[in-house]
Chains A and B, each alone.
Chain A
Amino acid sequence: MVATAPTEERIWQLLEEVTDPEVPVLSILDLGIVRSVRVEGEQVTVSITPTYSGCPAMNVIATEIRLRLLAEGITKVTIHNQLSPAWTTDWMSAAGRRKLEAYGIAPPVDGTATGHVLNLFGKDTAVRCPLCKSEHTHLVSQFGSTACKAHYQCDDCLEPFDYFKCHA
């Protein structure tokens, strides 16, 4: 393959094809974790930000970005881990939210993030069941199958489900 100097636009297109290993219906652009792409000659620098500090998917995502770009003959790739500004679910695309619900994960409910403000006895967020669409659900645990999800149960269809926490 003949390597031609890639354009930033092309890199963004390729990144759209890289998915989250934990939630394979979401591209990393849907998730909002790609913060910038810089192309200088043949050198490509991609900055990504973790959803949570310890997210183990970050290494896999970095590898998949390299592999996708390598398949296009782009070999000089640097991937930076950018901490600030900290990731928020506000960066998740509308398409990403629809895909999440169709996949069986309730998308973040906007405006419910408490940020770092301590919400000790606050109400739990009302989350719609992604399966039967009932609003009668309850929080089982703030800590779910991955760092970014909480564990809910539907009071109508009784199914347990994951809720992608609103994080801002």
Chain B
Amino acid sequence: MQVAPSETPALNNYSPEVRQQLFAYVLQLADTSLILGHRLSEWCGHGPILEQDLAMANIALDLLGETRSLFQYAAELEGQGRTEDDLAFLRLATEYRNPLLVEQPNGDFAATIVRQFLFDTFHYHCLVELHKSPDAQLAAIAEKAVKEAAYHLKWSSEWMIRLGDGTAESRQRLDKALATLWRYSGELTTPTATEQALQAAGIIPDYAALRPAMDAHVAHVFGEATVPVPQGVFMMTGGKEGRHSEHLGYILAELQYMQRTYPGLKW
């Protein structure tokens, strides 16, 4: 790598326990943007039209950029000599901490848009608050990423409206995607024990406090899309604790193939 990792503002004087929690949390964020970025990159060359193919590749790139900053910070927090590449390429599926939503398959364009919209709504609103974190490095990463996340959310929101209020075909596809994917949206704002501890310490945002703005955005977009907001759906969780769907294993098989086959391989 040509660029040295960010010059991290002096690591706040965290206790070993908080430091471990922060490591787990930063890793969870990195896993999330890595897996979604990888999923979006699968569209490259297969988008419905060139402009949207480019849009998905651009969003994937933004997410992978955020991923690198996060993995670098996680490696530093861990302090065991592992690098960003070790964290991405040499951990098992059960060690990955991304929520279930982002590992769901691309499906058709409507499924990709619904997955993206649900993620972007959380990602954007979370970054706005994370930008104010007393943890200087998390705040810096969020400061950079939130500008990009605003573009992503605008894009996925506009597509939700086009598909919902478009043709009978686009509406039917959107409805089908919502029926499959909505159940994964709740995990994003369901804190794990680690997240609860960091929320209590004031280091990361309280998800309950994010909900009013998130729900208002969803209601606004669904209203424009003429689609009712799903109600009373049982929410699937577990990804953030390492209990994944079988999809993740296939993603990692492709993502990690080179490092698993040729350990230590460098470009």
Q: Contact residues of A with B, CB < 8 Å?
A: 47-48, 50, 52-56, 58-60, 62-63, 66, 78-87, 114-120, 140-145, 147, 151, 167
The reply to whether B65 and A55 contact each other, CB–CB distance below 8 Å, is: yes
Q: Does B143 contact A (CB under 8 A)?
A: yes
Q: Is the interface of A mostly helix, strand, loop or mixed?
A: loop
The reply to whether A84 and B140 contact each other, CB–CB distance below 8 Å, is: yes
Q: Which of A55, A142, A167 contacts B147 (CB 8 A)?
A: A167
Known contacts A118-B150, A120-B154, A142-B151; decide if A80 and B66 are in contact (CB<8 Å): no
Q: Contact residues of B with A, CB < 8 Å?
A: 1-7, 51-52, 54-55, 57-59, 61-66, 68-69, 124, 127-128, 131, 136, 139-141, 143-151, 153-155, 157-158, 217, 220-221
Contacts of A63 in B (CB 8 A): 2
The reply to whether A62 and B2 contact each other, CB–CB distance below 8 Å, is: yes
The reply to whether A59 and B1 contact each other, CB–CB distance below 8 Å, is: yes
Q: How many A-B residue pairs have CB under 8 A?
A: 118
A145 to B51, CA, bound (A): 10
The reply to whether B150 and A84 contact each other, CB–CB distance below 8 Å, is: no
A160 to chain B, nearest CB (A): 10
A80 to B64, CA, bound (A): 19
Known contacts A62-B3, A142-B154, A142-B155; decide if A54 and B143 are in contact (CB<8 Å): no
The reply to whether B69 and A141 contact each other, CB–CB distance below 8 Å, is: no
A46 to chain B, nearest CB (A): 10
Contacts of B217 in A (CB 8 A): 118
A63 to B57, CA, bound (A): 25
